[in-house]
Structure 1
Amino acid sequence: MKAILTICRIELGRILSLKPAFAVLVIASIIYAAFYPQPYRTEALRNVPIAVVDLDGTDSSRELARRVDASADVAVSAVFPDEVSARQEVYSRNLYGLLIIPQYFERDLLHHRQSPVALYADASYFLVYQRISGGVTAVAKAMGAEVETARLIAAKVDPVLAAAAADPMPLTAVPLFNPQGGYATYILPAAFVLILQQTLLIGVGLLGTYRNDEIHGELAASAGPAAVVAGKLLAYLILEAFIVAFYLIALPYLYNIPRLGTPLSIFTFALPFVLAVGALGLILADLFRDPLTVQLVSAALGIPFLFLAGFSWPTEAIPPFLHALATLLPSTSAINGLVAVSQLGAPITDVRLPFLTLWTLATIYIAIAILLESRRRNTEVTS
């Protein structure tokens, strides 16, 4: 036990003294926390600019355009007399949608006939398209229900029955765990876990490529391979206790992300995650043994890790082989579990599958790290 604590103290000192490792494990964590969430702070798109072509020019058509402009999602930035000039603005990307109100719009409504409006929206950006189509559709449906209600009331139907007939099944949508329906609330909790993995993986890999004579020399006789690995992992756990608390407890408060989990449940789930990533970093260092190679390999794997994690690309759309491969990455199970625990307030029993998967990965990676440490010692002795 004394050897483990000694190695832990030495490794913590190396984290603070080796500039490459300190830059990745500490400085990079602060920089990511400060800058990565900034593009998502507005949560959802608002007031996406569109054009309106009013071919009717009546009170009803102007009322429709006014209501669309008053919605939170869409802003009518220009009104054109014809479709050709409006299209040019859309093609120039000055505007992102085009709403065409047909001629005889009001007349058709007064004669109880359908009067369809045309909406052209830029679908190259799915968030923009979603906002435009959703905003205009909601306004059109609401105005259509009002027109139908007024028609029924004019036909001597009871106003309550008329309102029910125009909209017999009103829908009340309640976004659970994401009250604002925003992208930041969805993406940031998962991205934080991936950042924790990448910084720890690269930092531990860099530490392992710099030989330390104090550990591999003076303590070699008294501390076996298991003690060396255990001491290093204990050092990483102490460091990550602060970083995990910063990312999964402090930052959600700072960025107003829903947080229903308790610190105890978060730390409980994060324990096997940190152990698995730390042991994987030791394996990475032993396989490549060069700081530059570790950095290049880790950087190259960053994007695949992002897509295999299952939050930027749906897990259901990932081929089974790649999905099985993704299970070997601690971030895959950690994202599913930590997001549920910290953001949704799920107890550990509800996420036992990813929790047990992380413990399995931690056990396997720690065993491999011990074997590699033992092999390295045998190689040094024979040489």
Structure 2
Amino acid sequence: MRAFFAVFRTELLRILSVKPALAALVIGPLIYALYYPQPYRNEALRDVPIALVDLDGTDSSRQFARRLDASSDVAIAALLPDEKSAEREVYARSLYGILVIPQHFERDLLHGRQSPVAFYGDASYFLIYQRISGAVTAVARAFGAEVETARLIGIRVDPVIAAAASDPMPLTAVALFNPQGGYATYILPAALALILQQTLLMGVGLLGTIGGQPVAPGRTSGSAGPLSTVIGKMLAYLVVEAAVLPFYLIVLPYLYGIPRLGSLWTVMVFSIPFVLSVSALGLVIARLFRDPVVVQLVGGALGLPFIFLAGFTWPIEAVPDPLRTIALLLPSSTAITGIVEVSQLGASLPDVRQAFLGLWALAGVYALIAVVLEKARQHHAALSGSETRA
């Protein structure tokens, strides 16, 4: 037991003394927290500028344009005479769409005929295109229903029946857990969990490959067995992450207005096996590569594959089955789903039991591999010491 606590204390001292590891475990997450969420502060697009080409010039066409401009998503920034001039503005990226109201728009509506409007949107930026097209569709549907209701009332149909006939199935859409429909609410919780994994992996890998271990006064960590060494180091990393995790999973979501329905206790308990599994994986990586430069290169190279395998930037259903199996071996792939559910959706631990147990299983498997590798290292060091004395 004394050897176990010696390893624990020694590893905490090393985290503070080994500057590259301190940068990865403490300073790095703080820097990420300062600048990474900044682009997502205005998470919902508002007043995207588009051009209007009104070929009808009637009261109905102007009324339709005013309604669209009054929506929160779209702003009619230019009224242009033809499509060619509007195209030039879109190609210059000063505008992101063109709405064309055809000639005889009002006449066709009054005669009960279809009068389609045309929208050309810049789909190279999907979020912008989605906002504009959604706003145009909603306004066109509402405007068309009102015109049809007025026409039916004009031929002496009861107003209630006319309203039901023009819009027989009204839809009320409620955005659960993301009331603004913003990108930050969707992407940040998953990205923050992935950042925690990458920085912890890098820090543990550097600690395992950089020499110069300080020894606690009056203690020795050299006599610790493989199991005590691995568990002592993992608990040291857990203590450090106990200060980083609340900042990432509680404070940052609060600062950026991300919905938080889960309790702090549930979030922190669920994060324990996540930290332990990542720490154990870091110990395995350190023993396999044995060079701090290689650890940094491997950690940097694996960042982008980890993002895609996590299943939030690319649909997990679209990932080939072999890669989905590999994703199950990464703590982040399981942790992201569970953390989002317990923190944003208000799930309890029994609700995320499968993910919770899966993380404990990963922690156990990687810890066992780390113990085996540590035993081999200690055996090799003992043999080298015997040959030196001989």
TM-score (norm 2): 0.95
Match for residue 195 of structure 1? 195
Secondary structure of 1:77's match?
Answer: strand
**Any unmatched runs of 5+ in structure 1?**
none
In the TM superposition, what is the alpha-carbon distance from 1:212 to its structure 2 partner?
Answer: 4.0
Match for residue 335 of structure 2? 334
Match for residue 158 of structure 1? 158
Q: How many Å separate the matches in 1 of 2:274 and 2:87?
A: 52
Match for residue 49 of structure 1? 49
Counting only pairs closer than 5 Å after superposition, residues 1-383 of structure 1 correspond to structure 2 as: 1-214=1-214, 219=220, 222-383=223-384
- Name the CA shift for 1:88/1:213 in 2 (closer, same or farther; >3 Å): closer
Q: Deviations over 1:209-264 (max 9, x none)?
A: 11245569x73553111111111111111111111111111111111111111122
Contact 2:13 2:214 in 1 (8 A): no
In the TM superposition, what is the alpha-carbon distance from 1:159 to its structure 2 partner?
Answer: 1.6
Q: How many Å separate the matches in 2 of 1:70 and 1:228?
A: 65
Contact 2:3 2:221 in 1 (8 A): no
| 4+ long deviations beyond 2 Å | 211-216, 218-222
Q: Which moved more, 1:153-162 or 1:277-286?
A: 153-162
Q: How many Å separate the matches in 2 of 1:259 and 1:319?
A: 33
Q: How many Å separate the matches in 2 of 1:183 and 1:221?
A: 50
Secondary structure of 2:51's match?
Answer: strand
Q: How many Å separate the matches in 2 of 1:189 and 1:156?
A: 55
- Name the CA shift for 1:170/1:268 in 2 (closer, same or farther; >3 Å): same
Q: Which moved more, 1:218-227 or 1:54-63?
A: 218-227
Percentage of matched positions with identical amino acids: 66
Q: How many Å separate the matches in 1 of 2:236 and 2:221?
A: 18
Q: Deviations over 1:291-347 (max 9, x none)?
A: 111111100000000000000001101000000001100000000111101111111
Q: Deviations over 1:7-37 (max 9, x none)?
A: 1111111111111111111111111111111
What number of residue pairs does the alignment pair up? 382
- State the superposition RMSD in angstroms: 1.3
Q: How many Å separate the matches in 1 of 2:53 and 2:295?
A: 57
Secondary structure of 2:113's match?
Answer: coil
Q: Which moved more, 1:186-195 or 1:345-354?
A: 345-354
Contact 2:284 2:370 in 1 (8 A): yes
Q: Which residue identity does 2:365 align to in structure 1?
A: I
Secondary structure of 1:169's match?
Answer: coil
Q: How many Å separate the matches in 2 of 1:221 and 1:57?
A: 86
Q: How many Å separate the matches in 1 of 2:2 and 2:266?
A: 30
TM-score (norm 1): 0.97
- Name the CA shift for 1:45/1:82 in 2 (closer, same or farther; >3 Å): same
Q: How many Å separate the matches in 2 of 1:67 and 1:375?
A: 73
Q: How many Å separate the matches in 2 of 1:242 and 1:169?
A: 52
